[in-house]
A and B are shown apart, each in its own frame.
Chain A
Amino acid sequence: MKLAIIVLEDEPPVRDAIARDLQEFSGEVRVEPAEDVPDARELIDEILADGDVVALLLADHRLPGETGVDFLVSTMDDDRMASARRVLITGQADHADTIRAINVGGLDHYIAKPWDPGELHDVVREQLTNYVLDQGINPLPYLPNLEMDRAITAMRGFSLTD
């Protein structure tokens, strides 16, 4: 079972830049770029059909059609997605959008554009770790992609025997 990160961003150069900055997340983590909300929904079906899980939604706000915040809100009602971690990466969400994302979109983190690649790494690593620990998944296969100290400490609880 791989952990999927969905990168929802309409502008190709920006999308590629985010994906490139997330290159170090590999192995048991898959990074999947989507250009708009319907595309993201299709991707989610594909990911679940592969037996993988959506661990992290990394969404821009301003998109053609449905906005990023609307997407985050809509996925809260979806059992398969409700536990995914949610990050908004945008420069254009206004006050009201942001409040909505936090209160009803389950937002876990807000990254302002232009983003700092180091910050992006840290946030993704932290959110993936939160996801794995919250879900009670054995962190072992995902260790290189997680905050190692927290993940290793949690591994004590997996009843591994000597």
Chain B
Amino acid sequence: MAAQVPTRLPSKTRVQKVGLAIAIVALIGCLFIQVPGLEPVGVRMLGIFVAAIALWVTEAIPLAATGVGIILFQVLLISSDAVLPVPETAETSASFFANLANPVIILFMGGFMIADGAAKYGLDKNLAAVMLKPFRGSARLAMLGLMLITALLSQFMSNTATTASMFAVVIPILASIRDPKMRTGFALAIPVAANVSGVGTPVSTPPNAIAVGMLAQNGIRITFLDWALMALPFIIVMLMMAWLLLVALFVPKGVPMELNLKADFNRSPAAIVFYLLAGGTILLWMSEPLHGINSSIVGFIPVVGMLATGVMTGRDVKQLSWPVLWLVAGGIALGSGVRATGLDAWLLGGIDWGSMSAVVFLVAVALVAVVMGTFISNSATANLIIPLVLGPSIMVATDDVTLAVVAALACSLGFALPISTPPNAIAYATGHIPQRSLMLVGAILGIVGAIFLALALPPLWAWMGLT
């Protein structure tokens, strides 16, 4: 049966109409006004930036549409092929379009192939079933097991896909829990674990990719392993904190619980080729210091290998989350445009950065990212915040890597509302979670996590020699 063809356009809320109006005014207005200290291309980039904020905040159009819209307007207004006069130094339209195939997008495509293949061959659910085995006996232990497995899966799958897979596994468990409070706790454990810990690699979540992509534009290459080492202490602490909070609030001591999940690994030749390609890719990602092959190049291997062997088909390629890739591409294009036109210097020039302490600045960045990420998409938050924070790092006594990683990780901590992240939306829609429980847990972990992230991790990274 064919899917329904839309007959009417999606209706817009009042907020969305306002967002759309601001975006249109910004895009047209920037052609006519002059701003002291800013070249005409800078003013046009300012218009695009304001429009992007309005559209990403209100979601007046789909997030990915804003992503590709940024690229379109950059081509039309500031590239060497623009319809208006531009300086001779302007980059060609091809270089703006190239953001759609930025190395970090290629890296992410590899991640998507692995994640979608894991779902296709049932690897995610089987791994969950096997790894839950040691966590039997008590309900508190079972919850820890669920959270650890969610955390592990979400290193290579998006938080959203992880939550979907894990819920499919735990629905029978939820149904067997009589105590509604405990059921809330278990239903919360999955999105909370996916949100706080799904940040361990550049492919875990789009904000990480955005940070890696924007750092690369500044000439800073950050390897897969570097990222994993920087994020690991954060994940361990956050996950333990989340578990302790959830058991304290929802799971009484000494409640017995048996989790009997059957693993039934697919042993067909196609599945085995998939396991080998996915496992090989992850090994190559982690061993970059040994062979020196950049993680984006490695990420392209499963794309080619899985298509060539037929373990993934053209149909699977069609179903990859292209809108997510375009959202990230739009963010990277925005970052490069903001820098190339001198907009970042103009925006941030008015602030006396020299007098600001690095610690205060990091805490402020982390808290702003958490608050923004609570209300709008985490990826859109990263797209808007990271290009701006990379500007003042020269003036504040800290470095680009620290700032970008703190900002990216903080974006993932904004999850106090059902609308904050899709994992929350999924968990909330199951009907097992009262909104106030989600808000309580999300707010505590978000704020404490942001402060921990900004205060404790930068010195640790410096001590580990990573920054």
- Smallest beta-carbon distance A152→chain B, Å: 5
Q: A162, B171: Cβ atoms under 8 Å?
A: no
Give 1 or 0 for each of B200-239: 1 = CB within 8 Å of chain A CB. 0000011100000000000000000000000000000000
Question: In the docked arrangement, what's the CA distance between A159 and B119, Å?
Answer: 15
The chain B residue with its CB closest to the CB of A83 is B1
Q: B422, A161: Cβ atoms under 8 Å?
A: yes
Q: B431, A143: Cβ atoms under 8 Å?
A: yes
Question: In the docked arrangement, what's the CA distance between A160 and B379, Å?
Answer: 11
Q: Indicate if B324 sits at the interface (CB-CB under 8 A).
A: yes
Q: B324 — which chain A residues lie within 8 A by C-beta?
A: 159, 161
Q: A162, B158: Cβ atoms under 8 Å?
A: yes
Q: A160, B425: Cβ atoms under 8 Å?
A: yes
Question: In the docked arrangement, what's the CA distance between A95 and B4, Å?
Answer: 34
Q: A156, B171: Cβ atoms under 8 Å?
A: no
Q: A148 — which chain B residues lie within 8 A by C-beta?
A: 167, 171, 430
Q: Indicate if A64 sits at the interface (CB-CB under 8 A).
A: no
Give 1 or 0 for each of B401-436: 1 = CB within 8 Å of chain A CB. 000000000001000000001110110011100000
- Smallest beta-carbon distance B184→chain A, Å: 15
- Smallest beta-carbon distance A71→chain B, Å: 20
**B206, B207, B412, B429: which has the most chain A beta carbons within 10 Å?**
B429
Q: A152 — which chain B residues lie within 8 A by C-beta?
A: 164, 167-168, 171, 426, 430
Q: A161, B63: Cβ atoms under 8 Å?
A: yes
Q: B323, A161: Cβ atoms under 8 Å?
A: yes
- Smallest beta-carbon distance B395→chain A, Å: 31
Q: Indicate if A141 sits at the interface (CB-CB under 8 A).
A: yes
Q: Indicate if A155 sits at the interface (CB-CB under 8 A).
A: yes
- Smallest beta-carbon distance A132→chain B, Å: 11
The chain A residue with its CB closest to the CB of B382 is A162
Give 1 or 0 for each of A20-53: 1 = CB within 8 Å of chain B CB. 0000000000000000000000000000000000
Q: A153 — which chain B residues lie within 8 A by C-beta?
A: 119, 164-165, 168
Q: Indicate if A12 sits at the interface (CB-CB under 8 A).
A: no
Q: Indicate if A135 sits at the interface (CB-CB under 8 A).
A: yes
Question: In the docked arrangement, what's the CA distance between A143 and B119, Å?
Answer: 20
Q: B159, A162: Cβ atoms under 8 Å?
A: yes
Q: A157 — which chain B residues lie within 8 A by C-beta?
A: 319
In the assembled complex, 30 residue pairs joining A and B whose CB atoms fall closer than 8 Å, in A order, are A134-B1, A134-B3, A135-B1, A135-B3, A136-B4, A141-B429, A143-B426, A143-B431, A148-B167, A149-B167, A149-B171, A152-B164, A152-B426, A153-B119, A155-B160, A156-B119, A159-B322, A160-B160, A160-B422, A161-B206, A161-B327, A162-B158, A162-B159, A162-B160, A162-B205, A162-B207, A162-B378, A162-B412, A162-B422, A162-B423
Q: Which residues of B line the A interface, CB within 8 A?
A: 1, 3-4, 63-64, 119, 158-161, 164-165, 167-168, 171, 198, 205-207, 319, 321-324, 327, 377-379, 412, 421-423, 425-426, 429-431
Nearest 9 Cβ contacts at the A-B interface:
A136-B3, A160-B422, A143-B429, A144-B431, A162-B205, A162-B159, A149-B168, A159-B323, A161-B324
